[in-house]
Each structure stands twice: as structure tokens, then as C-alpha cells.
Amino acid sequence: MIGEESEKVAGKRREEEGGKIFFLWWQELFRLKKVKVKNPSLRRLLSGAFAGAVSRTAVAPLETIRTHLMVGNAGNSVGAVFVHIMQHEGWQGLFRGNGINVIRVTPSKAIELFAYDTVKKVLQPKEGEAPRISFPLPVPTIAGAAAGVCSTVLTYPLELLKTRLTVQRGVYDNLLHAFLKIVQDEGPLELYRGLVPSVIGIIPYCGINYLAYESLKKGYRRLAKEDRVGHLATLLIGSAAGVISSSATYPLEVARKQMQVGALNGRQVYRHLFHALSGIVEKQGVAGLYRGIGASCIKLVPAAGISFMCYEACKQILLDEEEATSKNG
């Protein structure tokens, strides 16, 4: 008994020491003035990858609950889904599929943020210069939509595999097994089921998201009368932008998830986006298109904010000195 007590105390002490070491490492990381990564494309990719991995791991339980709410196989509320997962899988179930989620989000976010910054830099005139081309939409909207499409098309199979691993418990052993089983049983094109609604949904989502982010950031600078936006302000601004864009495009996200799940437990297989939308409305009413939006917004508040905050912080760390003085994220 005494040995068990001492072991628990020692274990707790090791956890506390590990937490302190991690905190000090994180603190020192953000105190760095710069890390020499001269290639601007590599800087953006590294920053985006880091932002994606950190933000998704932080909100993995909410992502799991949201996915279950969307496909409706574990309860009709956040509380009911949480209780169902804890009873059947334990706390590990809340992080089910997080490994594949990180594998998916890391390249996805890296590509998205890299593409956004690159396209915006090409389209947006430098300070003091007249626009070379007149666009019907704001540059952040165009750049965000282009970035979202690039990221979605290149990483979509990983998104589908993550959804299957999360929802279809006991069917797949791991990522590779899920990939091989889907290709063998359903064909390689099944890996892209739901791609069209994903692309259709990501265009307005990313367009609105980045426009809201840039607009809120400009508004903050005017109100605060500061050129630089701090980490906390970036966290709040990114969170607000994520909630705005998610609320505006949520029905398309629900349709996409329903198409990805396929014929699970005798479910109807939707052929295309409008078939999914009409089928959901017919069975569940208009409210079905917004099923799980509460959990989605709760997830997006920290996820979007953490993502933007980590991205901007990493860019500041990795920027060259002369570039850092002329840019603020």
C-alpha cells in the first residue's frame, strides 16, 4: 500500500516536472526573435503545419463529438454523445482518430495557409501602389477560397479516412487498413466521396473566414491604434472569424459528412450534394442541416483562434529581420 502511494506521488511529480519543462520550452520559443529560415515558402509551410497540429489536438474531443452529432449514431446532444463515448470507449474515445486528424490537418493547414499568403501577396498591391487589376471581390476572399480549394483537393482522402475511423468503430484497425479496405471493397473513387460538396463548401467558408479575419484585424488596429496585433488579440479575432464562416456554411458541412459515412448501418447513400441536402431536410427537417452546430461552434472558437495565433507567432519567429520589420503576420 505504501509502495503504491509513493509510486503515485512520484508519478505525479514526474508529470508536474514534465509540464514545467514543456511550459518553459514554449515560453522560450516565443521569446526568440527569429530563427533563420530564409526560404519564404518553407517558412509559411512550417508555420501552417505547426498551427494545424497544435489547434486540432487541442480540440480533438470536440471534433469527435461534433462528428457523431452530424451522423447521428451516438445521441442527439453534446451531453448524450459525451456520455455514450465515455461509457463505451472511455476518455480515449474522445481522441479517437486524432492521430489521423493530425496527419490530415498538418499538411492541409500548411497548404492552406501557404497558398493564402502566396495568392494574397500576388494579388494585393503593395502599400502606396495602385491596384493593377480590379477584382469583383476583396482580395482576402479570393485568396482564401483558392487556398481552401488547393488544400481540400490535395488532402481529401485523409479527411474521409479520419471520418470513417471516428464513426465506424471496430471496422478498421488503423489508417493503412482503412485505406486498403475501402479501396478493395468500395473502389478507389470512394476515397473522394463527398469531394464536390467539400469543395463547394470550402470556397465560401475560407472566403468568409479569411475576409472576416483580415477585416477584424484591421478594425482592431484602428481601435487599439497599434500596428502590431498581439497573440491574445489574434486568438480572439481568429475565433470570431471561424464562428462567422462556420455558421454561414454549416449545412454544406453536414451534407459532406453524411456522404462520407456512406451506407453505415443501413444508412441511405447520397449520390450528390443536392441529394444529401434534400434527403436530410426530408427526414429531419431544416433543423437537420444545423445538427451539431453548437458543438461545431464550441470547437471552432478555440480551433480557429489557436490556428491563426500559432501561425502568426511562428511566422514572426521564422521571419528574416528585415521582413519582420515590414510585416505583421
The segment with the largest mean pLDDT, out of 17-26, 40-49, 214-223, 304-313, is 214-223
Torsion (CA) 295, 300, 301, 307 in degrees, nearest 10: 150
Whether residue 131 lies inside any domain: the answer is no
Residue 274 near residue 289 (C-beta atoms within 8 A)? no
**CATH number of the domain that residue 237 is part of:** 1.50.40.10
Residue-wise pLDDT for 19-58, tens only, equals 444 444 444 554 544 556 677 777 778 888 888 888 888 8
Please give, one letter per residue, the 3-state secondary structure of the chain: CHHHHHHHHHHHHHHHHHHHHHHHHHHHHHHCCCCCCCCHHHHHHHHHHHHHHHHHHHCHHHHHHHHHHHHCCCCCCHHHHHHHHHHHCCHHHHHCCHHHHHHHHHHHHHHHHHHHHHHHHHHCCCCCCCCCCCCCCCHHHHHHHHHHHHHHHHHHHHHHHHHHHHHCCCCCCCHHHHHHHHHHHHCHHHHHCCHHHHHHHHHHHHHHHHHHHHHHHHHHHHHHCCCCCCHHHHHHHHHHHHHHHHHHHHHHHHHHHHHHHCCHHHCCCCCCHHHHHHHHHHHHCHHHHHCCHHHHHHHHHHHHHHHHHHHHHHHHHHCCHHHHHHCCC
- Higher per-residue confidence, 116 vs 253: 116
Assess whether pLDDT exceeds 60 at residue 327: no
pLDDT over threshold 80, residue 224: yes
Q: Does residue 60 sit within a domain?
A: yes
Amino acid 18: pLDDT: 41
**Structural domain includes residue 13:** no
Taking 80 as the threshold, does the pLDDT of residue 112 lie above it? Answer: yes
Examine residue 163 and state whether it is found in any structural domain, yes or no: yes
pLDDT confidence of residue 97: 67
Please state, as a whole number, how many other Cβ atoms lie within 10 Å of the Cβ of residue 317: 20
Tell me if 287 is assigned to some domain.
yes
Name the average pLDDT for the chain. 78
- Asked if the structure places residue 298 within a domain, the reply is yes
Q: Is residue 79 part of a domain?
A: yes
Pick 274 or 301 by higher pLDDT. 274
Q: How many CB atoms lie within 10 A of CB 8?
A: 10
Rounded Cα–Cα distance for residues 218 and 230 (Å): 13
The pLDDT of residue 211? 95
Distance (Å, whole) CA 101 – CA 162: 6
User: Measured on CA atoms in the order 111, 135, 253, 214, is the torsion positive or negative?
Assistant: positive
Burial class (CB in 10 A: 0-12, 13-18, 19+), 219: exposed
Question: Which pLDDT band, with edges at 50, 70 and 90, does 16 fall under?
Answer: very low
Could you give the number of structural domains in the chain?
A: 1
CA-CA distance, 226 to 221, in Å (whole number)? 5
The tally of CA atoms less than 13 A away on the side-chain side of residue 18 is 6
pLDDT band at 209 (very low <50, low <70, confident <90, very high): very high
Residue 107 belongs to what domain range?
Answer: 36-124+136-326
Instruction: Please check whether residue 23 lies inside any domain of the structure.
Output: no
Of the pLDDT bands very low, low, confident and very high (cuts 50, 70, 90), residue 152 is: very high
